[in-house]
Amino acid sequence: MTLTSSAWADGGQMPVKYTQAGEEASPPLAWSNVPEGAASFVLIFHDVDAAIGNGTDDLLHWMLWNIPGTATGLPERVPPGSQLPDGTRQISATGASYRGPGALASGPAHHYVFELFALDATLDVPAVGASPPQTRAAVVTGMAGHVRGKAAYVGLFKRQP
C-alpha cells in the first residue's frame, strides 16, 4: 500500500499552509495499491519527536477512522466535525478537526508521520464521549487482527524564528 501527498515530498518540509503557523489546513492525501477486502481505513497523524522525555511515545495531532474502504484519499481541508457525511470519524488533541504541526523555532524540525491502515472491518468506536487518548486506545484495540495493509508518509516542520 502506498500513501502520498501532492503538497510535499515524503520526508520533506511541510508547507506552512498545513501548520499552526499558517492556515492549519489538512493536506491532500492519496493512497493506492490497497489490499483486497479493505472495508475501512484508519489514519493516524502524530509528532514522533514532541513527546521525547514526556513519558509518551508521540503526540497525536489527528486521527480518522471508518474512512470508507472505497476511498482513495482525503481532500485538502477536511471539514471539522466528529462524524463526516461519509461516516468517517475524527479527533485530535484539540477537538474534532485537523491539528497541524507546531514545533517551536528554538529546537530541531520535528518528524510528523501520517500512518494509514487498511482494515477488513469498520470499528464500533464513537467519536465523542471519551478523551482523545481513550478514543485512540479504543481505535488501536479495535484494529487488532483486522489490519490488512499499512503505509506511512512523513513531513518535517519547525516554526521560523
Q: Which CATH superfamily is domain 2-157 in?
A: PEBP-like (3.90.280.10)
- Check residue 54 and give its pLDDT: 55
Q: Residue 52: which pLDDT band, with cuts at 50, 70 and 90? A: low
For the chain, the domains span 2-157
As a whole number, mean pLDDT of residues 133-158 equals 95
- pTM for this one? 0.94
Closest by CA position to 112, among listed 122, 126, 125, 99: 99
Note the pLDDT tens digit of each residue in 76-93. Answer: 999 999 989 999 999 998
